[in-house]
């Protein structure tokens, strides 16, 4: 059985923008990244959909990649989302990530036309061949419009040696076990659907890819710790507290919700980039109440004190 290069809580930072100009704010990006490492994240994964990577210019993407990896400074593993509409663009990003010292890369089939099996194989094979980094296939039918079933995932991995990991975000918990069994344990599976985090761990997921640690890191870490040691009562109790928040941030879009939460905590990362818009006032107030409950601290909006949450 393959030993996964990543495990545990894999934290997804948003991409920070200057409020006044809308340009990438690399100083804020570095602070958020450092917060995630200091809070105990087992890995950091920039430039996924949470990081609004599809809306970044290539020079911006490169700068965020470099800044994040430099800030992490090999304290924990890094997983860089290198997806692009074209194979050429994905290869370019993969090489940039490798040059800056990424531990692994993640590839979502980010498409307009639905890809055939042959096109998927050629795309993933070409990206995998561009570096010698381990590669994570990212299945997120809700954002990509392509649903890669376990049989398809395993067939791709058999043809691409460094495709060793799968992030499964369909919300179908049965797929975690199916991928592991079909691949005879050679593929490590990671959960990307926040509401099923505990079920995923119980079904053999090696890690949880989540933006939740941007706002409440200790709750995410405690859920993983309880699941890992088999403390079902504690894991169930933690999930019961955390689930309304997890459901909320997914339902309202991670960049919107996480950036609103950071603003409430006095750790602003700017507005989402259009066409995304900030979280509306009513929903922001709902988020404030959830965060105050989870952290035990009153929040004062942009002028309030920063907080990384408390031990769950």
Detail the DSSP E strand segments found in 140-291. 163-168, 188-191, 207-210
Residues making up the chain, counted from first to last: 312
DSSP, residue by residue, 3-60: PPS--EEEE-PPPPB-TTT-SB-HHHHHHHHHHHHHTT-SEE--SSTTTTGGGS-HHH
Q: What's residue 249's pLDDT?
A: 97
Catalytic sites, residue numbers: 138, 167
Domains of the chain: 8-232 (3.20.20.70)
Residue 28's pLDDT is what? 98
DSSP secondary structure letter of residue 78:
B
User: pLDDT truncated to tens, each residue of the chain (312 aa)?
Assistant: 456 679 999 999 999 999 999 999 999 999 999 999 999 999 999 999 999 999 999 999 999 999 999 999 999 999 999 999 999 999 999 999 999 999 999 999 877 778 888 999 999 999 999 999 999 999 988 777 778 899 999 999 999 999 999 999 999 999 999 999 999 999 999 999 999 999 999 999 999 999 999 999 999 999 999 999 999 999 999 999 999 999 999 999 999 999 999 999 999 999 999 999 999 999 999 999 999 999 998 886 543 333 333 333
Give me the pLDDT at residue 308, please: 36
Name the region of 59 (left: φ>0; alpha: ψ -120 to 50; beta: rest).
alpha
SS3 165: strand
Residue 2: its pLDDT value, please?
Answer: 56
């Amino acid at each position: 059985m393959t030993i996964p290069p990543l495990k545990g809580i894999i934290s997804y930072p948003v991409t920070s923008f200057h409020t006044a100009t809308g340009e990438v704010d690399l100083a804020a990006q570095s602070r958020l990244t450092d917060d995630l490492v200091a809070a105990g994240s087992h890995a950091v994964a920039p430039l996924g959909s949470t990081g609004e990577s599809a809306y970044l210019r290539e020079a911006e993407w490169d700068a965020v990649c470099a800044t994040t990896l430099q800030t992490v400074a090999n304290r924990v593993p890094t997983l860089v989302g290198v997806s692009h509409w074209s194979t050429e663009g994905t290869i370019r990003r993969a090489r940039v990530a490798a040059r800056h010292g990424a531990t692994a890369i993640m590839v979502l089939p980010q498409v307009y036309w639905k890809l055939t099996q042959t096109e998927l194989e050629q795309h993933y094979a070409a990206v995998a061949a561009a570096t010698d980094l381990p590669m994570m296939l990212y299945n997120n039918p809700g954002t990509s419009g392509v649903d890669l079933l376990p049989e398809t995932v395993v067939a791709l991995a058999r043809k691409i040696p460094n495709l060793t990991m799968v992030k499964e975000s369909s919300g179908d918990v049965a797929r975690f076990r199916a991928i592991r069994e079909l691949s005879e344990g050679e593929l490590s599976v990671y959960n990307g659907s926040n509401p099923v985090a505990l079920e995923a761990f119980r079904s053999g997921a090696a890690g949880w890819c989540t933006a939740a640690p941007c706002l409440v890191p200790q709750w995410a870490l405690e859920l993983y710790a309880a699941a890992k040691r088999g403390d079902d009562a504690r894991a169930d109790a933690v999930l019961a507290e955390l689930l309304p928040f997890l459901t909320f941030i997914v339902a309202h879009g991670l960049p919107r919700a996480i950036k609103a939460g950071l603003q409430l905590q006095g750790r602003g990362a700017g507005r989402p980039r259009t066409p995304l818009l900030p979280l509306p006032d009513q929903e922001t107030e709902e988020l404030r109440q959830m965060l105050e409950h989870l952290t035990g601290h009153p929040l004062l909006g942009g002028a309030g004190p920063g907080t990384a949450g408390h031990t769950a």
